[in-house]
Amino acid sequence: MIFKLLTIFPDMLQAVLSQSILGRALKSGAVQAEVVDIRPFSLQKHKNTDDAPFGGGAGMVMLAQPVMDAVKYAMGENFRGRRIYLSPKGRRFDQKMAEELAKEESLILLCGHYEGLDQRAIDSCIDEEISVGDYVLTGGELGALIITDAVARHLPGVLGSDESSVDESFSSGLLEYPQYTRPRELKGLSVPDVLLGGDQKKIDRWRRDEAVRLTWARRRELLKSAFLDREDRALVRLLRAQESKPRVCVLSKDEAKVRRLQYALQEESEGMIRFCGPEEADWSVCLERGTPVPANCKTILCFPPEEGEADDASGARFCPPYAFDPELMRLYGDEGVRKIVFRGISEAEFTDLSARILPVRKRGLRFADYGKSRCAVLLEGGEARCSCTFFDGTEAHFVLVPEPRAWVKALCSVLAGAE
């Protein structure tokens, strides 16, 4: 394919065309590009290419004569292709149009300037006006380079891999999935395990799912025209269902810790929790002291409070990862609890429970905390096997759930509003 770019600032285009992939493609002959300076075609004494508009108004208008003569020169003999004028009034350029233009033998790209181009030049020597976006540039040069680059990628021999122009954003109708390279670990950040497992089927599915997720999050309108298989549609239904679910941000200086908790919560909630930034969140989960908490959402501080510490200045409850009430947002065993009574458990269960629970005294109150990797969390619902009586006389009944990840379950219960 031959690209011919008509401009009054040729140096601006030459600098970009000689670099990177386009530069290599020109040297190898995969594509041809010629920059045509419009000024020498002007019949004006000082070779100017603009004049004041008829009817008055601000700014200047490009003259028709030098543009018409420059286009005629660029066409030469037996021209077969399309003549395009870069204009904010034109049809919006997109991936589909790039693929369409790649089928042409030649493209003439006319770069406008000032307040526009004399309409007579457009009517006589332009096939189509194209806009690269809903904004106004100082000239058409940047738009012409965008079109040249986007179209050239679809031509044989331009890219290093034939798959590169297919497996990327917009080619499949979706945004491209995240990419990773060496090293596997970088400043606490890891490459997703699925990409390291060697199972190409699982890798392809992961990439497709991530592409759907990104497209849903950033350019949802693209999903209307994209081809989606059965698994894609199931994921879209899940993402749509999550719209009504709580938006959660996990706050920590340790990114690996954030990802681990996000994964655990996502797995436990079966994808019914949506993670986002602090500005959009309904809830924030803070994993360590010293991390600023947002004022626009409810905050759960997941670390043990200091002696005598209850709520922080923002009204957030301290919820250490061992036992808290998801309804009252109150830690079991704090100064608000008068008594905890277990009901409906057998002698064997009580013996086993007693052997594994470490009795702790805090302000004269006896409460239970599993040692080290274990935790006891009290959740509402089901058969009541435990009750708490608070100093204000209120009483709540709960089911005892003794298991290592119970605090994650309880956290999901709070975030999702489950009983």
Q: Which two tokens stand for residue 219?
A: 């350019």
Please give the average per-residue pLDDT across 371-390, as a whole number.
45
Please give the average per-residue pLDDT across 323-337, as a whole number.
41
- DSSP string across 237-282: HHHHHGGGSPEEEEE-S-HHHHHHHHHHHHHHTTT--EE--TTT-S
Count the neighbouring beta carbons within 10 Å of the beta carbon of residue 275: 18
- CA separation for the pair 42, 45 (Å, rounded): 8
- Position with higher pLDDT, 354 vs 26: 26
Report for 300-314, 316-330, 382-396: range of highest mean pLDDT: 382-396
Q: How far from chain centre, in Å, is Cα 251?
A: 18
Phi first, then psi: give them for residue 248, nearest 5 degrees.
Answer: -125, 135
- CATH architecture, range 2-152: 3-Layer(aba) Sandwich (3.40)
Say whether pTM exceeds 0.75: no
Please give the average per-residue pLDDT across 305-327, as a whole number.
39
At residue 314, the pLDDT reads 37
For 403, the 3-state DSSP assignment is coil
Determine contact, residues 107/37, Cβ cutoff 8 Å: no
User: What's the whole-number average pLDDT of the chain?
Assistant: 78
Report for 83-87, 327-331, 338-342: range of highest mean pLDDT: 83-87
Residue 210 has pLDDT above 60, yes or no: yes
Determine contact, residues 118/61, Cβ cutoff 8 Å: yes
Assign 129 a pLDDT band (cuts: 50, 70, 90): very high
CATH, range 185-244: 1.10.1270.20
Report for 10-14, 293-297, 340-344: range of highest mean pLDDT: 10-14
Please give the average per-residue pLDDT across 169-190, as a whole number.
85
Please give the average per-residue pLDDT across 40-63, as a whole number.
93
- CA separation for the pair 152, 159 (Å, rounded): 9
- Residue ranges of domains in the chain: 2-152, 185-244, 245-318, 322-411
Determine contact, residues 275/249, Cβ cutoff 8 Å: yes
Assign 51 a pLDDT band (cuts: 50, 70, 90): very high
Determine contact, residues 377/410, Cβ cutoff 8 Å: yes
- CA separation for the pair 94, 143 (Å, rounded): 12
Percent of the chain exceeding pLDDT 70 equals 69
Q: What SS3 string covers 167-236? A: CCCCCCCCCCCCCCCCCCEECCEECCHHHHCCCHHHHHHHHHHHHHHHHHHHCHHHHHCCCCCHHHHHHH
Beta-ladder partners of 275:
248
At residue 168, the pLDDT reads 56
Residue 368 has pLDDT above 80, yes or no: no
Assign 396 a pLDDT band (cuts: 50, 70, 90): low
Q: Which two tokens stand for residue 267?
A: 């797995």
For 117, the 3-state DSSP assignment is strand
At residue 114, the pLDDT reads 86
Q: How many CA atoms lie within 13 A of 289 on its CB side?
A: 8
- CA separation for the pair 171, 94 (Å, rounded): 10
At residue 298, the pLDDT reads 78
Determine contact, residues 300/414, Cβ cutoff 8 Å: yes
Residue 410 has pLDDT above 60, yes or no: yes
Angstrom distances, CA of residue 395 to CA of 53, 289, 336, 364, 365: 83, 31, 11, 20, 17
Residues 6 or more apart from 213 whose CB is under 8 A from it? 235, 239
Residue 35 host element (H or E) = strand 32-37
